[in-house]
Structure 1
Amino acid sequence: MSSGPEPGPVERHRRLAVDSESVERGLAGLVLTIVELLRQLMERQALRRIDQGDLSDEQIEHLGLTLMALEDRMDELREHFGLSPEDLNIDLGPLGPLLPRE
C-alpha cells in the first residue's frame, strides 16, 4: 500500500529550504535567553549573600565586577545578533514573561 509517489529531489529540497540567518538568530536568541535568565538568578543570589553578610569585601568586589562583565558581554552578543532585551523575554502565556523586569 503506497501513499503516493515519493517526492523528487527538487520537491524535497524546497521543503527543507530555510533561511539560515533567521535560524541562527532564533537559536542565538534562545541561548541568550537562557544565559540571561541564569545571569539574573546569579545576581539575585549574590545580593542575598551580600545581605546575609556571607561575603568579604573582596568577594563582593570580585562578584560585582564579574556580573558587570557578564552583562556587558550579553549586550555585545545581543547587538551582534540584532536582538533587543525584549526579544529575549519569552511570553509564557498565562504565566507571564519568563524574565522578570529588573
Structure 2
Amino acid sequence: MDHRPEKSGRIQIDSDSAEEGLAQLVLTIIELLRQLVERQAIRRVDGGTLSEEEIENIGVALMNLDMKMEELKDIFGLDDEDLNIDLGPLGNLL
C-alpha cells in the first residue's frame, strides 16, 4: 500500500516528512541545473566549436548525470513529476 501523500506539485515539509521534502527540493534544484547544463552543451555542439573527443566527453558526462539522478530519485521515492514543483503564479518550475 502506498503511504505517500497526494501530489499537489508543491513541496510539502512538515515534521513527519522533512527529509523527503528536503530531498525533493535538493533534487529539483539539481535537475534544473542538469537541464541548463544540457542545453548549454547542445548549443556548444551545434556551434561546431568542440572536437569529437569533447563531444564524446560531454555525452558521457550527461548520461552519467542522468543515471545518477534516476538512482537518487529511486532512493528517495521521487519521480519526474515530484521535481516539477509549483511556483504559484509563476507556474511549474520545469
Instruction: Tell me the TM-score normalized by structure 2.
Output: 0.81
**How far apart in 1 are the matches of 2:41 and 2:29?**
18
Instruction: List structure 1 runs of 4+ shifted beyond 4 angstroms.
Output: none
1:88 aligns with 2:83: yes
Q: Give the corresponding residue for 1:57.
A: 52
Q: Which amino acid aligns with 1:41?
A: L
SS of the aligned residue for 2:49 comes to coil
Larger Rg: 1
Match runs of 1:1-102 below 5 Å: 18-19=15-16, 22-99=17-94
Q: Which runs of 5+ in 2 are unaligned?
A: 1-13
1:18 Cα deviation (Å)?
2.4
Question: Per chain length, whose mean CA-contact separation is higher, i.e. which structure has more relative contact order (CA < 8 Å, sep 6+)?
Answer: 2
**How far apart in 2 are the matches of 1:38 and 1:90?**
14
1:93 Cα deviation (Å)?
2.4
1:92 Cα deviation (Å)?
1.7
Aligned Cα RMSD in Å?
1.3
**How far apart in 1 are the matches of 2:72 and 2:93?**
19
SS of the aligned residue for 1:66 comes to helix
Q: Which runs of 5+ in 1 are unaligned?
A: 1-16
Instruction: Tell me the TM-score normalized by structure 1.
Output: 0.75
